A and B are shown apart, each in its own frame.
Chain A
Amino acid sequence: MTERPDAFAGRPNPGLPATAGMSLKPAHYRDILGVGAPDLWVEVHPENYMVAGGPRLAWLDAIRAERPLSFHGVGASLGGEEALDRDHLRRLKALIDRFQPESVSEHATWSAIDGRYLADLLPLPRTEAALNTLCDHVDAFQEGIGRRILLENPSVYLPLHAEMDEPTFLAEVSRRTGCGLLLDVNNVFVSANNVGFDPRWYLDAFAMDRVGEIHIAGHSPDPNHGEALLVDTHATAVRDGVWDLLDHALARAGPKPVLLERDADLPPFDTLYAECRGADARIARHRKGAARAPETRNHVGA
């Protein structure tokens, strides 16, 4: 595996603060605007803001004026065999120009083929061929938006043929393209359960020096198969095992921005904010422990 001379060296992201953030949902627009919560940052799927005008964009303008913002894309299909969707890229670039998010991230998955959008983050076989495709698209994506991105590890349900393990695969994408990594410890928990590996081995093998953001979220047992198949639903509170993995990751990585994802069965803002405070307390514990370590801000990829 050779290092590409063209690894994207463009403008680094300003970086998110090493505090807790929250997925921003329309149901919470009113709650979050003007609320104290000085360290809270927010993350959105930019695809939900790819509209010409209207209240959604106006709310994001107002909330963004108060807080750091992260764009977490779900539609790029970076692992797809086909070329990137130029229209999607153009719309994303326009949103980045308008909102100037502190961070832009995407997934090490694919979601479109033959002009169809499969509305899910589908798994890649971890082969040299898939690695090349993913790297080509991360390169093109970063060039297209003029930013380095963070690339997120997937939640795995169906283990596919693999020539290397996932931490190695992702570290290699980061090395070849210059992208940072987004470590979703709920995905690690879910994948470890479903595929049968030790999540602590995974975290110990993960390229923590490339991590610019960590995700936590809730998962649910599959309605038909129960605990044998955990699903990354983002529909419950964060479970104890995931908090433990967050601690393990922070102990290795030092303080990082930590996002609480919630997409379904949305509780009131205050409930989610209390969970964010729980994440903040854990980050603070590791901030003390890592007092001499460099801060995440303005660091790799973030």
Chain B
Amino acid sequence: MSALSAYQRRMAAVVAGGDADALAADAAEPGVTWRAAVYRNTFAAGCRDALAANHPAVEAIVGAEFFSALAQAYIAAHPPTGRTLVGYGQSFPAFLRAFPPVARVPYLPDAADLDRAWLAAHVAPDAPPLTGADAMRLAQASDLAAQRLALHPSAQIVTTEWRLYPLWAAARDTTEPDDAALRLQRTGDTVLIWRPGHEVRHRRLATAEAAFLGDIAAGATLGAAAECAAAADPGAGLAELFATVLQDGVLADPAEIPHQDGEDAAS
């Protein structure tokens, strides 16, 4: 190992929290290694702030102090590996699920999943959403039920264990959650987060919508997805459902979705 890489390994250990005295032989003069604390602090604060920026609802729910403790543990277990902190925290939801102190906030991993889906939607490839006029044109060209459409590349469907969406949405918008939002139930929920233009949008999905969009995402034809929706909720109005998802810009023509070069920072 070269002298340079030996030094760089020692510095990396100090940055990660190790004893700065390990750098005594590298320093230009004796007694100055305490100054390496600046590097350690910059690393810890940078990672913590990136994690908070990427998971604002998690921080809003538990407060800055508890969040900092979570961040410290996460950074130690999953230090950044890319060359940017944009998107940092890929494993944060899974980490929270397994981290014992989070047991008293059992819905927190759901909030982290929703935050990550928001981030993924925000930086997803751009594509024009499929409009009603596009759908009419497709229907004229061939049997609409046989068409295979795609979800808009920004669309994220998140299944949560808790009915957390109202609380999460209030935390994202920094508004006071109402009483109903605070009555959390472990009944499961499905949330759609997507970005049809430049603004990220989100809403809960009804049972039939969740089934319909889930099937589209899996590559089913429109006809098969409609059958799936009807099976999930026999009372659902399928024409209305289709009109709503078109109006919301949730679908896209697969031919219009750009080929994605390499992995995405937030994936």
Contact = CB atoms under 8 A, between A and B. Distances in A.
Q: How large is the interface on B (under 10, 10 to 19, 20 to 34, 35 or more residues)?
A: 35 or more
B86 A48 contact: yes
Given A54-B126, A120-B15, A229-B38, A161 B9 contact: no
B226 interface: no
Interface string A97-141: 000000000000011111111111010110101100100000000
B208 to A, nearest CB: 29
B83 A94 contact: no
B26 A160 contact: yes
A87 B262 contact: yes
A54 B36 contact: no
Contacts of B3: 127, 129
A266 B69 CA distance: 26
B81 to A, nearest CB: 6
Contacts of A301: none
Interface string A70-86: 00000111001110010
A158 interface: yes
A247 interface: no
A110 B8 CA distance: 9
Q: Interface majority SS on A: helix, strand, loop or mixed?
A: mixed
Contact of B265 (A51, A117, A158): A51
B105 to A, nearest CB: 27
Interface stretch (B39-47, B167-175, B177-185): B39-47
Given A54-B195, A87-B262, A118-B15, A157 B123 contact: no
Nearest to B87: A51
B265 to A, nearest CB: 5
A133 B8 CA distance: 13
A171 interface: no
Contacts of B36: 157-158
Interface in A153-186: 157-162
A2 B119 CA distance: 49
Interface residues of A, number: 52
B2 A129 contact: yes
B15 A125 contact: no
Best-buried of B29, B43, B123, B262 by chain A (most CB within 10 Å)? B123
B154 to A, nearest CB: 8
A59 to B, nearest CB: 9
A81 B2 contact: yes
Interface in B1-50: 2-5, 7-9, 11-12, 15, 23, 26-29, 32-33, 35-39, 42-43, 46-47, 50
A9 interface: no
B19 to A, nearest CB: 14
Contacts of A65: none
A110 to B, nearest CB: 6
Contacts of A50: 84, 86, 265
A54 B123 contact: yes
Best-buried of A55, A111, A119 by chain B (most CB within 10 Å)? A119
26 contacts: A48-B84, A53-B124, A53-B154, A54-B124, A54-B195, A58-B126, A75-B84, A76-B83, A81-B2, A113-B8, A113-B12, A116-B81, A117-B82, A117-B83, A118-B12, A118-B39, A120-B42, A122-B11, A127-B3, A158-B32, A158-B33, A158-B38, A161-B27, A161-B28, A222-B38, A231-B38
Given A48-B86, A160-B28, A231-B38, 20 more contacts: A48-B84, A50-B86, A51-B86, A51-B264, A52-B123, A52-B260, A53-B127, A55-B198, A55-B199, A80-B8, A81-B2, A90-B262, A112-B83, A117-B81, A118-B43, A119-B50, A125-B7, A125-B26, A129-B3, A229-B38
